[in-house]
Amino acid sequence: MENNIQYRKTPVGGQQTKGWSLEKKLNLGDHKVEDLVNHPAHYNAADIECIDAIRAATDEGFEYYLQGNIMKYLWRYRYKNGIQDLEKAQWYLTKLIETWHVLHVRKRTTTQEDTDDASKS
């Protein structure tokens, strides 16, 4: 069996986010390999992904949680898991960018609605 790892550029965060990510594809024949960066099985329980539970529990602190994880994985990549830690840092950075866009679009929309309501009064 030959192990091939292929990388290709994919857009990050849809149309609003400018940037690219490297998507890893493992070609291992009939063998399935767990994705330890994007959706590790040990972070899923009862159909709830851990990151979603953390977002719900931390509310506005979620951005700080993401920043802390980015720093952690960048800090340790040379000493622990190498490329896997860099990919995890990239995953958390992508999540932070997505969160930032959601919060700022929501804030702009709410501010615009408030302005529209005030002008109608």
Helix (H, G, I), strand (E, B) or coil at 27: strand
For residue 107, what are its two tokens? 């804030």
Q: Residue 51's pLDDT band (boundaries 50, 70, 90)?
A: very high
Position 7 in a domain: no
**Which runs of E-coded beta strand occur in 1-57?**
4-11, 20-27, 44-45, 48-49
For residue 27, what are its two tokens? 């070609």
Position 12 in a domain: no
Query: How many structural domains is the chain composed of?
Result: 1
**11-30 residue pLDDT tens:** 444 443 344 444 455 555 66
Position 29 in a domain: no
**3-12 residue pLDDT tens:** 444 444 444 4
Position 80 in a domain: yes
H-helix or E-strand containing 6?
Answer: strand 4-11
Range of the domain at 102: 44-120
Position 69 in a domain: yes
